[in-house]
């Protein structure tokens, strides 16, 4: 089959075209020369327009995504924050379900130690490649510690949401507020129902 437009290409465009065809063949992503040529042509047009062409082997995985992790012995808010209670203090972070929907976290806005938070109100924000989302306090109290490591390593929220990705620790001012939060089983069901609406 003759490909008429190849002779008009120069330098990087020819390389891109050849790599596209090669990658497609190796990955088994096309079943005919015409579909390979069509994808290569799209890649070249993207390059000519100054856009980054996607690698030819990149595809959305056909494997089902694993369910988000929900830990026992934690309490959960309907805004997808978790609480770990130890005596009269609580460690707070965002859940695995939340970070999964956010995508790669690139910045975390942290509050000041000594400030107070109220249940249901926001005390910071998480910025990801997709969006910026408020972080809400699942319980009220005084902030006694902040995870400063998140300033340099915001990705901890993605990679270790329940351990290295914790956000603040508070001294609980009203323990009865914990009764309004969900346990792990209720939170799992809540996430399933919420995802089912989308």
Residues whose CB falls within 8 Å of the CB of residue 187, separated by 6 or more in sequence, listed in order? 70, 76, 95
Q: What is the pLDDT of residue 67?
A: 56
Q: What is the pLDDT of residues 33-69, one digit of tens each?
A: 444 445 445 544 444 445 444 443 323 222 334 457 8
Q: What is the pLDDT of residue 38?
A: 52
Q: What is the pLDDT of residues 70-118, one digit of tens each?
A: 898 999 999 999 999 999 999 999 999 999 999 999 999 999 999 999 9
Bridge partner residues of 82 (DSSP): 76, 93
Q: What is the pLDDT of residues 120-150, one digit of tens each?
A: 999 999 999 989 999 999 999 999 999 999 9
pTM value? 0.65
Sheet holding 168-172, edge to edge: 75-76, 81-86, 89-94, 168-172, 141-146, 116-117
Q: What is the pLDDT of residues 153-171, one digit of tens each?
A: 999 999 999 999 999 999 9
Q: Which helix (H) or strand (E) holds 118?
A: none
Q: What is the pLDDT of residue 196?
A: 81
- 1 pLDDT above the threshold of 50: no
CB 39 within 8 A of CB 27: no
Domains, the chain, in order of start with CATH, read: 75-174 (2.40.50.100)
CB 74 within 8 A of CB 184: yes
- 30 pLDDT above the threshold of 70: no
């Amino acid at each position: 089959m003759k490909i008429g437009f190849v002779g008009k290409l120069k330098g990087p465009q020819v390389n891109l075209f050849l790599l596209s065809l090669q990658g497609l063949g190796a990955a088994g992503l096309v079943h005919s020369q015409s579909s390979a040529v069509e994808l290569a042509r799209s890649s070249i047009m993207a390059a000519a327009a100054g856009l980054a062409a996607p690698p030819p082997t990149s595809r959305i995985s056909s494997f089902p995504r694993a369910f988000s992790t929900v830990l026992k012995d934690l309490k959960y808010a309907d805004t997808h924050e978790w609480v770990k209670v130890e005596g009269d203090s609580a460690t707070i972070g965002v859940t695995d379900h939340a970070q999964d929907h956010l995508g790669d976290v690139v910045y975390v806005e942290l509050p000041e130690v000594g400030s107070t938070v109220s249940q249901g109100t926001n005390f910071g924000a998480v910025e990801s490649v997709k969006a910026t989302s408020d972080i809400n306090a699942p319980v009220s109290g005084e902030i006694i510690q902040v995870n400063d490591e998140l300033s340099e390593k915001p990705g901890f929220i993605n990679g270790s949401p329940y351990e290295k990705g914790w956000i603040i620790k508070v001294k609980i001012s009203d323990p009865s507020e914990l009764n309004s939060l969900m346990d792990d089983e209720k939170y799992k069901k809540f996430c399933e129902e919420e995802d089912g609406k989308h």
